[in-house]
Amino acid sequence: MRFLWWILFGLAALLSVLFAVSNRATVAVELWPLSKAAELPLYLLVLGTLLIGFAVGQFVGWAGGWHWRREARRSRERIAVLERELETERARPVAAAPPSLAAAPR
């Protein structure tokens, strides 16, 4: 599986390099309320936009999982408390059950 991941990663890197080499022409980028235009290579605009979109998507996914991370943290803390209680109960000497309950005729 790791081998397949490296093949896909290499293929994506190769396609990105080929795209960058093929699209070196500069383009003017303007944002509507601003009057200033930025000129940059087309490959930088496209790959930069993809990188920013990836980063924003990762942040949104991370922020959306806060509830599950909080639940996991609370569960780990509760498990630790219960394990400590179990160890203290196991360390206590066991009191013998009254013989009347153990050998009661039916």
Q: Tens of pLDDT along 10-53?
A: 999 999 999 999 999 999 999 888 889 999 999 999 999 999 99
Which amino acid is residue 77, in one-letter code?
E
Q: Check: CB of residue 37 under 8 Å from CB of residue 27.
A: no
Where do the domains of the chain lie? 2-90
**Residue 80 DSSP SS3:** helix
Which amino acid is residue 1, in one-letter code?
M
pLDDT single digits (tens) 81-90: 999 999 999 9
Q: Check: CB of residue 48 under 8 Å from CB of residue 27.
A: no
- pTM for this prediction: 0.64
pLDDT band at 80 (very low <50, low <70, confident <90, very high): very high
